[in-house]
């Protein structure tokens, strides 16, 4: 059976912001349309950052000329997820999971919060059987600075950029979604491709491998861990991102065996690059009828898995604290601007009480200032309560999930995140659901049993209480 050819590319298709966007999309369409002629014979194409609907239509039309007749465009949020999946084989089911942890709403310049990123799913009816195909794009890393590694388990140092917590939370959401879909679909294998915005060996990559141990890195399988394979700011790229060092951040991860993996789409016939990324093409071995699937790669040792999950919990927990502080700060700033708006509303009356008056040409200034302050107060209130608060709750959920994983791995006694944003129950604190001796859940259960016994036997309250103490 011929290998399954999978290609992934971040197209850098931002309207008005990306250089030569339309020209580059036309060259990509030409490549896809001539796929059969050039003997690429791609079976799956996973594209990211295809933001413009006109570009989507062009790509889908061009891909049909080479046999990629099935397509799914994942749409969400204000600008859409930017994800497009093309397939030679029928797509029998699709879904999209929007990442709850989207980013910092106040960072308008980076735009990740407003991009509505997530993971798109397509079930493809390949000749060897159904395949689960996942296409995703994680939060960008704008700083590329890391702490020093620490600990006996050689856990990679976490990234120190301002968005590390959101990216780590998205790694957790991605892994949970892939595992949930793969368990329920009963497919013959899985392919996960896209821009993960983290290079090999980083904490995010190691955590993803610990949570998805069944997936193998196609590039690493074909070239070994020492090969660079830079996909962003690659040598010779004519659109190098200013804040991005040369890194391999685009991946094809799969449960299938890997027959080969290479770099594609470096330069158009005009000499410029197709994108600020290059494409990754992987050739995957599909199992024949009745043949066993490829053996999964070795999973991380339990001690290393525990260390990775604990490090991820610390990263997300730190982001939760910063998100809660940002929420409180925006709400406080909203209150200050609301007070200022009220002050400008009564500014003229105050001036009259003081025996003064504004010049007629400046009479419009206080009402205008009141409108501006009121609008600012509304914006910052919504940002603090809905946007920042929503992101804090998403990070809180991720922290709680990682805490449960750490506890299940034997890392510590019971602990959950409870109450408001950033609140937590400590081990043995008796927080509801903590699992600690004397915890709220156990106490409530004992009181429920005591009340049932009193109703059934008509026992005196004192005797029932004594019996309860004796049982304890």
Same domain, 33 and 67: yes
Highest mean pLDDT among 177-191, 266-280, 377-391: 266-280
Please report whether residue 454 resides in a domain: yes
Is 448 in the same domain as 359? no
Q: Give first-to-last CA distance, the chain, whole Å.
A: 66
User: What is the residue range of 460's domain?
Assistant: 440-471
Q: With bands split at pLDDT 50, 70 and 90, how would you rate the model's confidence at 148?
A: confident
Is 435 inside any structural domain? no
Helix axes 389-408, 164-185, angle to 10 degrees: 60
Instruction: State mean pLDDT over 359-374.
Output: 89
Rg (CA), the chain: 28
Question: Does 268 lie in the same domain as 130?
Answer: yes
More confident residue, 13 or 350: 13
In a domain, 360, yes or no: yes
Q: What percent of the chain has pLDDT over 70?
A: 84
- pLDDT score of 293: 67
Per-residue pLDDT, 438: 39
Of the chain, the percentage scoring pLDDT greater than 90 comes to 64
Asked if residue 353 is part of any domain, the answer here is: yes
Position 432 in a domain: no
**110 band by pLDDT with thresholds 50, 70 and 90:** confident
Cβ neighbours of 129 (radius 10 Å): 15
Looking at the fold, whether 233 and 320 belong to one and the same domain comes out as: no
The reply to whether 222 and 336 lie within a common domain is no
Q: Exposure pattern of 326-349 as b/e (b: 16+ CB <10 Å)?
A: bbeebbebbeebbebbeebbeeee
Tell me, yes or no, whether 418 lies in a domain. no
- Distant-in-sequence, close-in-space partners of 339: CB < 8 Å, separation ≥ 6: none
Same domain (yes/no): 319, 295: no
Residue that is last in its domain, among 367, 385, 408 = 408
Q: Are residues 252 and 379 in the same domain?
A: no
> Predicted confidence band at 468 (pLDDT cuts at 50, 70, 90)?
very low
Q: What confidence tier does 379 reach under pLDDT thresholds 50, 70, 90?
A: very high
Rounded to an integer, the average pLDDT of 234-241 is 94
Predicted local distance difference test score (pLDDT) of residue 104: 92
Q: Which of the listed residues 408, 427, 450 is the one where a domain comes to its end? A: 408
Assess whether 353 and 276 both reside in one domain.
no
* 401-458 tens-digit pLDDT: 999 999 998 876 555 544 444 444 444 433 333 334 334 444 455 555 555 555 555 4
CA 182 to chain centre: 18
Do 87 and 207 reside in the same domain of the chain? yes
Q: Kindly state whether residues 92 and 237 are assigned to the same domain.
A: yes
Q: How many CB atoms lie within 10 A of CB 356?
A: 8
Q: Which residues of 210-248 are buried (b: 16+ CB within 10 A; e: fewer)?
A: bbbebbbbbbbbbbeeeeebbbbbbeebebeeeebeebb
Of the listed ranges 7-21, 27-41, 263-277, the one predicted with least confidence: 27-41
Q: What is the pLDDT of residue 446?
A: 53
**Per the domain annotation, does 194 fall within a domain?**
yes
Looking at the fold, whether 20 and 136 belong to one and the same domain comes out as yes
pLDDT at 467 over 60: no
Give the number of other Cβ atoms within 10 Å of residue 149's Cβ: 13
In a domain, 208, yes or no: yes
The whole-angstrom separation of Cα 165 and Cα 186 is 32
Phi, psi of 317 (to 5 degrees): -65, -40
Please say which residue of 280, 300, 320 terminates a domain: 300
**Nearest-5° angle of CA 164, CA 170, CA 174?**
145
Q: Residue range 293-305: average pLDDT?
A: 83
> Average pLDDT of 47-62?
96
76 and 121 inside one domain: yes
Identify the band that residue 154 occupies on the pLDDT scale cut at 50, 70 and 90: confident
How far apart are the C-alpha atoms of 396 and 423, rounded to whole Å? 9
Query: What pLDDT, on the 0 to 100 scale, is given for residue 466?
Result: 40
> Considering its fold, how many domains does the chain have in total?
3
Mean pLDDT over all residues of the chain? Answer: 86
Is residue 30's pLDDT more than 50? yes
């Amino acid at each position: 059976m011929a290998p399954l050819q999978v290609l992934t590319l971040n197209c850098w298709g931002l309207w008005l912001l990306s250089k030569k966007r339309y020209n580059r999309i036309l060259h990509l369409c030409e490549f896809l349309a001539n796929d059969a002629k050039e003997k690429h014979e791609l079976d799956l194409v996973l594209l990211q950052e295809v933001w413009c609907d006109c570009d989507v239509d062009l790509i889908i039309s061009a891909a049909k000329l080479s046999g990629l007749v099935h397509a799914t465009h994942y749409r969400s949020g204000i600008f859409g997820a930017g994800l497009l999946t093309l397939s030679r084989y029928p797509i029998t089911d699709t879904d999209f999971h929007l990442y709850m942890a989207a980013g910092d709403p106040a960072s308008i310049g980076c735009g990740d919060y407003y991009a509505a990123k997530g993971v798109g799913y397509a079930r493809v009816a390949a000749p060897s059987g159904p395949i689960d195909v996942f296409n995703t794009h994680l939060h960008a890393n704008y700083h590329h600075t890391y702490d020093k590694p620490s600990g006996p388990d050689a856990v990679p140092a976490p990234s120190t950029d301002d968005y590390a917590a959101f990216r780590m939370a998205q790694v957790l959401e991605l892994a949970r979604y892939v595992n949930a879909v793969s368990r329920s679909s009963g497919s013959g294998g899985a392919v996960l491709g896209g821009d993960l915005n983290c290079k090999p060996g980083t904490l995010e990559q190691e955590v993803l491998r610990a949570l998805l141990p069944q997936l193998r890195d196609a590039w690493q399988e074909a070239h070994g861990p020492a090969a660079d394979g830079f996909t962003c700011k690659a040598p010779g790229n004519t659109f190098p991102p200013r804040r991005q060092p040369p890194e391999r951040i685009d991946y094809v991860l799969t449960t299938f065996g890997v027959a080969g993996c290479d770099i594609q789409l470096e330069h158009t016939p005009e000499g410029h690059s197709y994108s600020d990324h290059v494409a990754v093409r992987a050739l995957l071995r599909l199992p024949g009828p009745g043949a066993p699937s490829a053996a999964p790669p070795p999973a991380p040792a339990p001690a290393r898995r525990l260390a990775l999950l604990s490090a991820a919990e610390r990263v997300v927990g730190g982001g939760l604290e910063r998100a809660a502080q940002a929420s409180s700060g925006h709400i406080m700033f909203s209150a200050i601007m609301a007070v200022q708006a009220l002050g400008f509303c009564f500014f003229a009356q105050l001036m009259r009480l003081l025996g003064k008056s504004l010049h007629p040409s400046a009479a419009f200034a206080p009402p205008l200032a009141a409108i501006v302050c009121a609008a600012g107060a509304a914006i910052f209130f919504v940002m603090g309560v809905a946007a920042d608060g929503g992101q804090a709750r998403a990070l809180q959920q991720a922290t709680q999930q990682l805490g449960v994983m750490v506890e299940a791995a034997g890392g510590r006694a019971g602990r959950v995140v409870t109450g408001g944003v950033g609140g937590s129950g400590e081990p043995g604190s008796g927080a509801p659901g903590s699992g600690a001796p004397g915890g709220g859940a156990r106490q409530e259960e004992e009181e429920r049993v005591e009340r049932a016994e009193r109703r059934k036997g008509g026992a005196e309250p004192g005797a029932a209480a004594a019996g309860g103490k004796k049982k304890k």
